[in-house]
Chain A
Amino acid sequence: MTMFNRLPIGATKPLLVVLVLLGLAATPARAAMAIQEVKGSSGIKAWLVEDYSVPIVTIRFAFRGGSTQDPSGNEGLVNLMTQLFDEGAGDLDSEAFQERLDDAGADMRFDAERDALYGSMRVVADQKDVAFDLLRLAVEQPRFDQAPVDRIRAQIVSGIMAEAKDPEAVAQVAWRKALYGDHPYSRRNEGTEQTLAAVATSDLKALHKRLFARSNLAIAVAGAIDASALKRDLDRIFGGLPAEPSLMPIADTAPKLAQEIRVPYDLPQSRLRLAYSAISDKEPQFFAAYLMNHILGGGAFTSRLWNEVREKRGLAYGIRSSLVNNDHASALVIDTGTRPDRAAETLSLIRAEARRMAAEGVNQEELEAAKKNVIGGYAIDNLNSSSAIANTLVGIQMKDLGIDYIARRKQLIEAVTVEDVRSVARQLLSADPAVMIVGPPLKERKE
Chain B
Amino acid sequence: MTWEAAAVEPPRGESEIGNFLLSNGMEVVIIPDHRTPTVTHMVWYKVGNADEPPGKSGIAHFLEHLMFKGTKNHPAGEFDAKISEIGGQQNAFTGSDYTAYYQTVTPEALESMMEFEADRMRHLVLTDAVIAPERDVILEERRSRVEDNPEALLDEEMRATLYQNHPYRIPVIGWMHEMEQLNRGDAVAFYDRYYAPNNAILVVAGDVDAATVSWLAEKTYGAVPRGRDLPPRVRPQEPEQNTKRTVVLTDARVTLPSFQKSWVVPSYRITEPGEAEALELLSEILGGGTRSRIYQELVVNQGIASGAGAYLDGRSLDPSSFTVYGSPRGEAKIEAVEDAIDAEVRKIIDAGVTDVELEKAKNRLVRSMIFARDSQAGMAHIYGKALATGSTAYDLKQWPLRVRTVTAKDVQAVAKKHLNPDRSVAGYLLPRESATSGDKSQ
Contacts and interface: CB of A to CB of B under 8 A. Distances in A.
Contacts of B171: 2
Nearest to B64: A6
A56 B147 contact: no
Contacts of A105: 3, 363-364, 367
A161 interface: yes
Interface residues of A, number: 82
B207 A31 contact: yes
A51 B291 CA distance: 31
Contact of B13 (A7, A53, A56): A53
A311 B316 CA distance: 33
Contacts of B363: 105
A372 to B, nearest CB: 5
A315 B96 CA distance: 26
Contact of A151 (B95, B172, B303, B360): B303
B141 to A, nearest CB: 4
Contacts of B80: 301-302
Given A338-B140, A383-B36, A1 B96 contact: yes
A214 interface: no
Interface in B60-76: 61, 64-65, 68
B34 A316 contact: no
A102 B133 CA distance: 50
Contacts of A166: 253, 255
Contact of A164 (B38, B255, B360, B374): B255
A275 B83 CA distance: 29
A314 B140 contact: yes
Instruction: Tell me if B's interface is mostly helix, strand, loop or mixed.
Output: mixed
A321 to B, nearest CB: 16
B20 interface: no
Interface size class of B (residues with CB under 8 A): 35 or more
A33 B373 contact: no
B88 interface: yes
A10 to B, nearest CB: 11
Contacts, number: 237
Centre residue among B68, B147, B374, B431 by max chain A CB count within 10 A: B374
A102 B85 CA distance: 44
Contact of B370 (A124, A162, A385): A124
B10 to A, nearest CB: 9
Interface in B286-321: 290-291, 299-300, 303, 306-307, 313, 315-316
A159 B306 contact: yes
B172 A4 contact: yes
A25 B87 contact: yes
Interface in A156-177: 157-159, 161-167
B94 A3 contact: yes
13 contacts: A6-B65, A52-B12, A151-B303, A154-B330, A162-B327, A165-B253, A311-B77, A317-B137, A317-B143, A339-B140, A376-B85, A380-B89, A384-B38
6 tightest Cβ-Cβ pairs between the two chains A and B: A376-B87, A314-B136, A377-B87, A314-B133, A53-B11, A158-B306
